[in-house]
Structure 1
Amino acid sequence: MPLNHTDQVNLLKDILSNQQSDCCGSVAECEQLERLIKSLMVNADISQNVRPILEEIYIYSQNGKNTADLDEHINAHQDQLSSWVENIGEFS
């Protein structure tokens, strides 16, 4: 059963929240973020206001999966993670 866009947004928020609170993550989480964002970007139900945030998160996840030290990458983006979770929450 495919996830609807609300479920996708909630999963996106959960992954980002976990990375923020745990200060660590996995390459698999970064890949999951990318898949979620790709799916959300083609969804007509997603507000144009949230698209720039999704693009930022996509770049973050791409850089994260390709970095030598993912935990340091996550630590370096704590402010953005907090902002993204808050902003995405307003659109879900």
Structure 2
Amino acid sequence: MPLSHLDQITLLKDILNNHQVDCCGSVSECEQLERLVKSLMTDPHINDSVKSVLQEVYDYSQNGQYTQHLNSHIESNQENLSQWVDQMNINF
């Protein structure tokens, strides 16, 4: 059974929150972020303001997948992680 867009947003926020709180993560989490964002970008229930945040999360996940220093990448995006989650909370 596929996840609803609300379930996908919740999962996305959970992963971003974990990155923000723990200051670490895994490549598989970045890959999961990418899959979630791709799915949400094509969902008609998602408004344009969220899609702009999703694009930023997509870029973050892409950079995270291919960096040799994932934890440094996460640490350097601490403020962004918090802002993205806040923006998604406002819009859902």
What TM-score does the superposition give when structure 1 sets the normalisation length? 0.98
| Deviations, residues 26-71 of structure 1 (Å, cap 9, x unaligned) | 0000000000000000000001111110000000000001000000
> Runs (4+) of structure 1 moved beyond 6 Å?
none
The alpha carbon displacement at 1:12 in A equals: 0.3
Instruction: Give the corresponding residue for 2:13.
Output: 13
Gaps of 5+ in 2: none
Q: Tell whether 2:43 aligns with 1:43.
A: yes
Q: Distance between the aligned counterparts of 2:51 and 2:83, measured in 1?
A: 14
Q: Distance between the aligned counterparts of 1:91 and 1:24, measured in 2?
A: 26
Q: Distance between the aligned counterparts of 1:77 and 1:49, measured in 2?
A: 20
Partner amino acid, structure 2, of 1:28: S
Gaps of 5+ in 1: none
Report % sequence identity: 55
Aligned length: 92
Partner amino acid, structure 2, of 1:82: S
